[in-house]
Structure 1
Amino acid sequence: MSSIRFIQAFVFALFFCQCLAQIGTKILSPEANSTISVGDKVQILYTYGNMGNGSYTVDLSLWKDNAAEDLVQDIAADVAVDSGNSAGTKLEFLLNTTYEWTVPKGLPDTVYLTVTTKPELESQVGLNMRSSPIILHISAALTNLPIQKLSLLALAMGNMLSPQDERSDKLAIAAKKKLHKFQSKKVNLTGGLEQENIRLKEKLFKTNEKVELMQHEIDHLREKNSELQRLFAHDFLSDVDSITFSDHRTLDAYEREERLIFEDLKRRLISLKERFKRNSAGCHCMGELIEI
């Protein structure tokens, strides 16, 4: 008899556990192994059993382990939900509701979410129906953020462009060196041109002095030539009456001598004029060079 009652009690306990499991809390969303990100608004959808008349509240919690022993934080506690009902011809066996949760910062990479239903029944029966923990991943979602994707793209582009930047830097350095050399050559050339200009000015000044001296010499020769012509004319006119036919040879010799002197003076004058023209042309060329 005792064995029969033991079997009955065992079967009752077995079916009671199955019934309790069927009417327990179950998380429908998010799904297990979901990835969530900081700042996301997560809709936690869950169902709980209709245990009869009374007030119902739920606790939503995060845990570090799947045994739900090491608490991370309570998302919410004593959240009022729809109450059950045991009266009427048609009863809902399961009830469901949704809680909106904003994912905070500072969570571990992996957490376990549970929802615990706590009905306070009129029958004074105390029940706590906790759901099975579902695993959620936090930090893994950060790599899927658009900002980080853009950062990775920018990093990749930077790595791709870095050789070009190095080549650009090398070309810029080479261009600066060439510019420095060109500027040095320009300075040297400018200094050389200035020195050459000074030298040409000095040479032109000396040439002008020579031209002035030659001009004075030409003027002196012209005066001397005029004086000789005047003396020649005076001597010829004063002595023409005293010249006899017997002195033709002496007169001819005198005329030849005067003619030679005059021609020599004329040649010297022409030579001086040509030298003056050459010097004047040289001075003009030097002036043009200096202006250039």
Structure 2
Amino acid sequence: MLDTTDPMSQALQSLLDLLDLERIEQDIFRGRSRSAVVPRVFGGQVAAQAMVAAGRTVPEDRPAHSLHAYFLRPGDPGAPIVYEVDRIRDGRSFTTRRVVAVQHGKPIFHLSASFQSHEDGLDHQAPMPPAPDPESLPTSHERMRGYGHIPSDVVERLLQARAAVDLRYVEEPPYGKFGEPRDPHSQVWFRTNGKLDDDPLLHVVLATYVSDMTLLDSVLLAHGRGGWALGDVVGASLDHAMWFHRPFRADEWLLYDQESPSAYGGRGLGQARIYTEDGRLAISVIQEGVVRVPR
């Protein structure tokens, strides 16, 4: 049970409530949104809610192993989102679900997710890259309070949007140090600000939510751009894919090691690996987004 007297735990509980969908038919769910930092629904929220909808139609002994999604239209924060689940296949080992998120009668998001019964098999992984102890790094509050070049109202909105998650950059984020191109590589440690239940789906959902927060940072770093917070880039997620390799907990430290191999044609690509603190490769992530320079 979360400590309801702790503001950070309150923020996490608020996020968990946001992701807890209402079931209105057997395979139809309704979600809500909250005030957004930008005038559209945060993509990580829609992806996480879609995974909740898909997961609630799958047996508990089949955890998620992958998702592939497209962001089709900006979501309206002032309107509910309806998630329609299509039970594509229930096999002996794998279960496949398709989810369409609808607002105002139009699809805004499409997701396919696959779930698998546990199997023993071959086992190898890429080694975890070097990274400092997360406890040695400044918190988001500590970093952002020192950014006098960012309007105070933007700082407050950013901190509010990330209050449920302890997010710690290894180096300065794009909006913290900008104007000079850097290596298109970014590392972030993260965990929820409070303990979660043991349900594996919940940890997948929270990791999905956080995965959309910083993945395109490395694109900005390569060009010395500060991002939307400074108004020098306009961006939005286009598609998102995740593979869940090994069990993990989103309430324990996870290293998000991110890089950008390419940006071209108004789009930027980010790819990443997420490791547990003890070095197990838990998740692989790839995302492409719109990255435009305002004229």
Q: Does the alignment reach a TM-score above 0.5?
A: no
Whichever structure has more helix as a proportion of its residues is: 1
TM-score normalised according to structure 2 size: 0.23
Larger Cα-atom Rg? 1
TM-score normalised according to structure 1 size: 0.23
Whichever structure has more strand as a proportion of its residues is: 2
